[in-house]
Amino acid sequence: MTATTASSSSSKGASSDDGHERPLGIGFVGAGMVGQLAHIANFALIPVCRPVALAELRPRLGGQARDRFGIARLYPDHRALLTDPEVEAVVVVTRRPATGGVVLDALEAGRHVLSEKPMAHSLAQAARLVDAARRTGVRYAVGFMKRHDAGYQRFKALYDGFLASGELGRVVFLRGYCHGGAFACNAEGFVMTDEQRPDGLEVWPEAPDWLPPALVRDYAWFLNVFVHDVNILRHLVGRSPEVTFADFRHANGRVVGFDWGGFSGILDMAEIPFADWEEGIEVLFERGRLRLRFPPPLLRNVPARIELERTGEAGAVARPAVPWSWAFRRQAEAFVADVRGGREPAASGEDSLADMDLIETMWRKAIALGNTPAANRD
């Protein structure tokens, strides 16, 4: 089989022999638990796309996942998958240090890409990927599924509406938090084997080259866990903040201060084994409070929950209703629609460059203030 590129125009309005639009051919790189449950299972339910190929370095796992989800072809690695002419778009869910290289190969092969977050481990790496997407004219999305959560989208509409109307006054303070917990919710419906993950993928450095080597492991963990929260706060407000302080001295329990231009904010972060999941946003207005709490990531069909409290109405808390839905399913549907419609994804690689820049700024600030960890995280 020879390598064939699928241009962005080839998946737009393509028709089959009977005159109906041809389903978008999707290939998957990686078949771990998250790859299967959050991505393959959701794309398999979308009528206008078709899972046609899977690349997995562990052959038994790959074979079992292929059979479970009815995927036509299994490849030993992503390079072999990219020679498949039916693969028009690729979903990348692999080891984080390997993500950048796999995504770059897919973009340069002319495939549309949705990759798990973080898109890379430095702003410079991320810029390489965005440049490749621009050159090849394909859609490139990053897996910030919270942006597609129906509860968050309603929350964002309420926030924007209150700013426009002035009904609750100005924003006084913004808090984001992520304390971790049980993200998998006893998930079922996937297969696993006892195979060791073999070598065979190019890995990129796990931190920018200016970061002291002793901080690399801690930085990579921080980026992987908390880039979701950086992305969602930046999207909510519509811009990046000034970083006023960053305290990363302790291995678990981080705090970053922001100036959003007109109001202050904070992001506090930890990773605690709660039985539930603790992550959300709180906006304080002069005359009210708007709260959002995210569900555990793998909890199916439960959107983020909203609470609205107005000052002067003691005990009156409104909880706007949001239809049952799952952020990962909505993300998959949005990616397929963006590719087929030739639209820029809402959580695009280009947009996420600002996340990478902001996280590097946090770490520079922590270093400048002497607020870095004394030792790597265990």
> CB–CB of 257/266 below 8 Å?
yes
Q: Considering only 127-131, 172-176, 198-202, 336-340, which range has the smallest mean pLDDT?
A: 198-202
Of residues 280 and 201, more confidently modeled: 280
Decide if pLDDT at 363 tops 90.
yes
Per the domain annotation, does 88 fall within a domain?
yes
Q: Are 52 and 44 in contact (CB under 8 A)?
A: no
> Among residues of the chain, what percentage have pLDDT more than 90?
87
- Does a structural domain hold residue 73? yes
Q: Say how far apart CA 49 and CA 139 lie, in whole Å.
A: 15
Measuring CA to CA, how many Å separate 343 from each of 97, 107, 110, 139, 160?
Answer: 28, 16, 16, 7, 23
- What is the band of 205 on the pLDDT scale with cuts at 50, 70, 90? very high
Report yes or no on 224 lying in a domain. Answer: yes
- Do 215 and 280 fall into the same domain? yes
Q: How far is CA 140 from the centre of its chain?
A: 12
- What is the rounded average pLDDT for all residues in the chain? 92
Residue at token pair 């590719």: 339
Neighbouring CB atoms inside 10 A of 105's CB total 21
Can you list the positions of beta strands (E) in 56-209? 73-75, 89-92, 112-115, 140-142, 171-181
The pLDDT value given to residue 123: 98
Residue 13 is assigned to a structural domain of this protein = yes
> Do both 117 and 170 map to the same domain?
no
At residue 341's C-alpha, the angle toward residues 153 and 49, to 5°, is 90
pLDDT of residue 374: 67
Both 364 and 227 in a single domain?
yes
Task: Please report the pLDDT score of residue 203 as a whole number.
Answer: 94
Residues 231 and 96 in one domain: no
- Shared domain for 190 and 291, answered yes or no, is yes
30: number of Cβ within 10 Å: 29
Q: Is the pLDDT of residue 7 over 70?
A: no
The residue among 266, 219, 224 whose CA lies nearest residue 241 is 266
Torsion of CA 340, 345, 350, 355, to 10 degrees: -150
Residue type for position 7 = S
pLDDT, mean of residues 5-9: 38
- Residue 25 is predicted with a pLDDT of 98
Question: In this model, does residue 11 exceed pLDDT 80?
Answer: no
Question: Structural domain of residue 204, as residue ranges?
Answer: 149-325+355-368
Say if residues 377 and 221 touch (Cβ distance below 8 Å).
yes
SS3 content of the chain, % helix, strand, coil (to 5): 35, 20, 40
Domain count, the chain: 2
pLDDT of residue 21: 78
The whole-angstrom separation of Cα 310 and Cα 287 is 6
Same domain for 295 and 201, yes or no, is: yes
In the Cβ-directed half-sphere of 269, how many Cα atoms lie within 13 Å?
A: 21
Give a yes or no: residue 378 inside a domain. no
Q: Would you state the structure tokens that stand for residue 352, as one six-digit string? A: 């996420």
Nearest to 147 by CA among 355, 307, 347, 357: 347
Binned at pLDDT 50, 70 and 90, residue 12 comes out as very low
Q: Over range 126-135, report the average pLDDT.
A: 98
Could you give the CA distance from residue 195 to residue 203 in angstroms, rounded to a whole number?
Answer: 20
Instruction: Tell me which residue of 171, 149, 185 sits closest to 329, measured CA to CA.
Output: 149
Cβ 81 vs Cβ 55: under 8 Å: yes
* Rounded distance between C-alpha atoms, residue 48 and residue 22, angstroms: 7
Residue 264's pLDDT is: 98
Q: What is the pTM of this model?
A: 0.93
Instruction: Report yes or no on 375 lying in a domain.
Output: no
CB–CB of 130/233 below 8 Å? no
For residues 196-212, average pLDDT: 90
The pLDDT value given to residue 312: 81
State what percent of residues in the chain have pLDDT above 70.
93
Mean pLDDT of 310-328: 90
CATH of the domain at 202: 3.30.360.10
For residue 251, name the pLDDT band (cuts at 50, 70, 90).
confident
- Do 233 and 317 belong to one domain? yes
Residue 249 above 60 pLDDT?
yes
pLDDT 10s digits, 26-64? 999 999 999 999 999 999 999 999 999 999 999 999 999
Q: What CATH number does residue 55 fall under?
A: 3.40.50.720
Assess whether 140 and 168 both reside in one domain: no
Residue 18: predicted pLDDT: 44
- Report, as an integer, the average pLDDT of 343-365: 98
Q: Are residues 251 and 292 in the same domain?
A: yes
Same structural domain, 223 and 304? yes
Residue 376 domain flag: no
Mean pLDDT of 336-360: 98
Does 338 fall in a domain? Answer: yes
What's the Rg (C-alpha) of the chain? 21
In the prediction, which pLDDT does 13 show? 43
SS3 (DSSP) at 284? strand
Has residue 19 got a pLDDT over 50?
no
Residues 203, 175 share a domain: yes
> pLDDT at position 20, please?
57
Asked if 141 and 153 sit in the same domain, the reply is: no
